Amino acid sequence: DAVVAVSRFTRQALIEQMRLMTDAISHDLRLPLQRVRSNLTAAMESPDADRLKTGIVQAIEDADAALDTFNALLDIARAEAGVGREAFAPVELSALISDVVELFEPLAEEKQQLLAVSLVPVTVWGQSMLLKQMFGNLLHNAIKYTPKQGKIEVRLTREAPDQVCITVTDNGPGVPDADRGQVAQRFGRLS
């Protein structure tokens, strides 16, 4: 009976994981694909050759963004399954975070936000691209949801010889207590 219960739980967990992944893929790809279609439709209907070319170029850029998102989701799934470990390498995390912060600084400056950074030198074993995407998402959300003239703090600390902590804090509205469990779930989203 215990084996059947574990099997049923595992199957239910896998189905839920698949549902969450499908929701995430559809959410992340719907808008870029809608933009591709919209740009191509507008370009096709335009009698102006320059507008036609501009619409096609924009559609190609949006398609590339959708492909990048799709490939990132596949990379994450592969990493979680242990596939692609050959792409793992030492990553200087403080340098990586500095690069991402530098990339997002203009967005924070537009909103007159103070972006404070405190990093210690740390090297980890991982995939540089996935780490950049993860940290970029955290920082982008902090900038997006922090009010004008707000404060965002980025910290990288060593918690133990084999444990590091990246913290992104801000004075935005935060996540309601009732929704915190959902945010921590894989592919968890709030409205």
Which residues make Cβ contacts (< 8 Å) with residue 166, sequence separation at least 6? Answer: 93, 97, 135, 138, 154, 155, 156
Range 91-120 average pLDDT = 94
What is the model's pLDDT at position 80? Answer: 67
pLDDT at 4 exceeding the cut of 70: no
Q: How far is residue 111's CA from residue 184's CA, in Å, rounded to a whole number? A: 27
Highest mean pLDDT: which range of 7-21, 28-42, 68-82, 109-123: 109-123
Average pLDDT over residues 6-22: 62
The residue-averaged pLDDT of 85-110 equals 90
Q: According to the model, what pLDDT value does residue 2 have?
A: 44
Q: For residues 46 and 40, give the distance between their C-alpha atoms in angstroms, rounded to a whole number.
A: 10
- pLDDT of 157: 93
8-26 mean pLDDT:
66
Written as six digits, the tokens of 186 are 């894989």
